[in-house]
Amino acid sequence: MPHGPKLLTALGLAPISIYYALLFVGSIGIFLAYSFYRFEDFDFVPAFQLGNYGDVLGSELYQTLILRTLLLALAVSVVVVTVSYTFVYLINFVFARHRALLYFLVLVSLFSGYLVRIYAWRTLLGAQGVVNEALLTIGLIDRPLRFLLNGWFAVGVALVNFMIPLAVLPLHAAMANVSPKTLEAARDLGAGPVTIFRQVLLPLTRGGIVVAFAFVFIASAADVVTPTLLGGVQAQMVGTAVQAQFGTTFDWPFGAALSFTLMAVVLAVVATFGWTMKAATR
- End-to-end Cα, the chain, rounded Å: 42
Pairing, β 43-45 against β 38-40: antiparallel
**Contact string (CB under 8 A) for another protein, positions 221-240, x = contact:** xxxxx---x---------x-
CB of 225 to another protein, least distance (A): 7
Cα–Cα distance for residue pair 53/55, rounded to 1 Å: 5
Judge contact between 84 and 175, C-beta under 8 A. no
Enclosing H/E stretch for 44: strand 43-45
Q: Which 17-76 residues touch another protein, going by CB under 8 A?
A: 19-20, 23-24, 26-28, 30-31, 34
2 makes contact with another protein (CB under 8 A): yes
Region class of 252: left (phi > 0), else alpha (psi between -120 and 50), else beta:
alpha
Nearer to another protein, 60 or 248 (CB): 248
Does 12 engage in binding with another protein (CB under 8 A)?
A: yes
Burial (CB count <10 Å: 0-12, 13-18, 19+), residue 25: exposed
Query: Which of 117/198 has CB closer to another protein?
Result: 117
Residue nearer to another protein on the CB measure, 82 or 280 = 82
Task: Give the shortest CB-141-to-another protein separation in angstroms.
Answer: 17
SS3 at position 74: helix
The CB-of-112 to another protein minimum distance in angstroms stands at: 5
Is 161 among the residues that bind another protein (CB under 8 A)?
yes
Q: Which is closer to another protein, CB of 9 or CB of 280? A: 9
Which amino acid does the sequence have at 140?
L
Q: How far is the CB of 198 from another protein (least distance, A)?
A: 20
Positions 250 through 279 that interact with another protein (CB under 8 A): 252, 255-256, 259, 263
Residue with Cβ nearer another protein (164 or 205): 164
Query: Least distance to another protein from the beta carbon of 1, Å?
Result: 5
Which residues 90-129 are close enough to bind another protein by CB under 8 A? 90-91, 94-95, 99-100, 102-124, 126, 128-129
Q: Kindly tell me which of 39 and 103 has the beta carbon lying closer to another protein.
A: 103
- DSSP assignment of 51-69 equals HHHHHHHH-HHHHHHHHHH
- Which amino acid does the sequence have at 150? N
Give residues with Cβ within 8 angstroms of 13, minimum separation 6.
Answer: none
Instruction: Count Cβ atoms below 10 Å from residue 156 Cβ, excluding itself.
Output: 19
Closest distance to another protein from the beta carbon of 80 (Å): 11
Closest contact distance (angstroms) between CB of 219 and another protein is 6
